[in-house]
Amino acid sequence: MVSRAAKSPLLSIVIDRDGAGSLQGQIFDRVRDAILSGRLAPGTRLPASRVLASELRVSRNTILAAFERLYAEGYTEGKIGSGTQVSRVLPEELLTARARIDTRGRATEPAGKLSKLSGQMVGLGDRHSVRGSRAFRPGLPDLETFPYQLWSRLIAKYWRHPPRDLLVTGDLSGYRPLRDSVAAYLGAVRGVRCTSAQIIITSGAQQALDLIARTIIDPGDDVWVEDPGYSGLRSTLFAAGATLNHIPVDLDGISVNAGRKAAPNAVLAAVTPSHQYPLGVTMSLSRRLELLDWAADANAWILEDDYDSEFRYAGKPYSALQGLDERNRVIYVGTFSKVLFPALRLGYVVVPDALLDPFLRVRAALDDQPALALQPALNRFIEEGYFASHIRRLRGLYAERQALLLSALDREGDGLLSASPHEAGMHLVAELTSQVRTGDVAASDKAAEIGLIAPALSRFYEGAGGKQGLVLGYAGLSEQEIKRSVRKLAGVLVS
């Protein structure tokens, strides 16, 4: 079904209610294209949100969300709700982009060849990415309590008069003092057994996953992945040519028996044992030992993604699977981006000795050294105890915010969502109650239309039939944001 805003003298756009994109996203794209193509000149006043909502037969909140995004990205100016105009001075990148827009206001198709892989990757990544949105983005840390003044002093200490070796060349594995600090931290806090020589600093966990995939996997190799599981990990393994075997997760973690039946000779099992993503279960000791035995029997590797293990709210964090490994089968991946701030883009991989040379050869071919700009400052941040202090502060804060989210779901959620407390993590899975008449995919799509990121749990499963629910991140939200966002989410679930 197609709706057209034809009555407005300034704007005529078409939306497709049966199309793949959200209504909010379509409205944003159509107005942006009109601006870039020159059909809406700088200074042109946009139609009132109520008028446009009536003509397109959509909710006013949908129009407001699209207008807010246009304003946030610099396409419009003025106060939303009392007169919005096309920006008189567009951002520089928009001026460049205008030349790439054809006469119909659409981006031109690529003229050269594309790989088959680029088409096959569609749908493997996150479905919704609402720029600027914080609620309820999973994995987003608190950004208000980070000690920015201290951080700036640590950076200035090195870069006001930087040592010459930081400016010229670097170690393939990363800044040696930082690797020393990471090894000491992992041994003391996570029970990881390693030396600094086994640590490779990467540009976030995603690069570490890519490095593992490129070093180990040949096209067609069987790999175990958790079902449900993290789409970013699946995409990376798929891009390396792996044949993905989606192994079910139960209350003890990944089912090793199911994995043995599905792909007994897999070359790699990718797991999140400390806090399974997205369900949040912790792999039991018996299941960990069973997985290690399989890896030894199959001469396979285990990828342990320890993405948010620092945040456990009852007792000490569980020791890593790698610490139980007597046969050097586990490749351990961690990140600082979820602990400190996403733009830091620093992670690491702990590699068994037997794999170190192959890893470094692949690293040299892809990226001859990791960026050194922030590594010395991060080392001092860890070495001088600020990192441990920051984590302790965040643990208390995140425990409070989890409780606030559970309370808000009870009080503000109108009985539409149900969730239970977890001992760890930065998100909760909220089940849809019988009062919600749509599935979780439709609920997630509605949330995206008003600027909320609430991924559908069923989309983390392979195929249809997965559990229904919404994945709600809470770590990066204030008390007021949590309450307000739950009310907004409840509002769209009943519409």
Residue boundaries of the structural domains of the chain: 2-112, 148-384, 389-493
pLDDT exceeds cutoff 90 at 55: no
Mean local confidence (pLDDT), 60-71:
85
pTM of structure? 0.76
Confidence at residue 165, expressed as pLDDT on a 0 to 100 scale? 77
pLDDT exceeds cutoff 60 at 154: yes
Query: Do the Cβ atoms of 338 and 307 come closer than 8 Å?
Result: yes
Confidence at residue 80, expressed as pLDDT on a 0 to 100 scale? 52
Q: Which of 113-122, 168-177, 281-290, 392-401 has the lowest mean pLDDT?
A: 113-122
Task: Kindly indicate the confidence band of residue 58, based on its pLDDT and cuts at 50, 70 and 90.
Answer: confident
Instruction: Give the fold, CATH level 3, of 2-112.
Output: Arc Repressor Mutant, subunit A (1.10.10)
Confidence at residue 82, expressed as pLDDT on a 0 to 100 scale? 57
Tell me, letter by letter, the H, E, C secondary structure of the chain.
CEEECCCCCCCCCEEECCCCCCHHHHHHHHHHHHHHHCCCCCCCECCCHHHHHHHHCCCHHHHHHHHHHHHHCCCEECCCCCCCEECCCCCHHHHHHHCCECCCCCECCCCCCCCHHHHHCCCCCCCCCCCCCCCCCCCCCCCCCCCHHHHHHHHHHHHCCCCHHHHHCCCCCCCHHHHHHHHHHHHHHHCCCCCHHHEEEECHHHHHHHHHHHHHCCCCCEEEEEECCCHHHHHHHHHCCCEEEEEEEECCEECHHHHHHHCCCCCEEEECCCCCCCCCCCCCHHHHHHHHHHHHHHCCEEEEECCCCCCECCCCCCCCHHHHCCCCCEEEEEECCCCCCHHHCCEEEECCHHHHHHHHHHHHHHCCCCCCCCHHHHHHHHHCCHHHHHHHHHHHHHHHHHHHHHHHHHHCCCCCEECCCCCECCEEEEEECCCCCCCHHHHHHHHHHCCCCCCEHHHHCCCCCCCCCEEEECCCCCHHHHHHHHHHHHHHHCC
- State pLDDT tens for residues 224-264: 999 999 988 999 999 999 999 999 999 999 999 999 999 99
CATH of 148-384, one of 3.40.50.300, 2.60.40.420, 3.40.640.10, 3.50.40.10: 3.40.640.10
Query: Do the Cβ atoms of 170 and 369 come closer than 8 Å?
Result: yes
pLDDT exceeds cutoff 70 at 143: yes
In the chain, % of residues over pLDDT 70 = 88
Burial label for 366, CB within 10 Å (0-12, 13-18, 19+), is exposed
Average confidence score pLDDT of the chain:
87
pLDDT exceeds cutoff 90 at 475: yes
Task: Kindly indicate the confidence band of residue 109, based on its pLDDT and cuts at 50, 70 and 90.
Answer: low
Higher pLDDT, 379 or 97: 379
Higher pLDDT, 157 or 408: 408
Q: How far is the C-alpha of 486 from the C-alpha of 488, rounded, in Å?
A: 5
Give, in words, the CATH class of 389-493.
Answer: alpha beta
- State pLDDT tens for residues 411-435: 988 889 999 999 889 999 999 998 8
125 to 194, 322, 385, 459: CA distances (angstroms):
32, 28, 36, 10
pLDDT exceeds cutoff 60 at 93: no
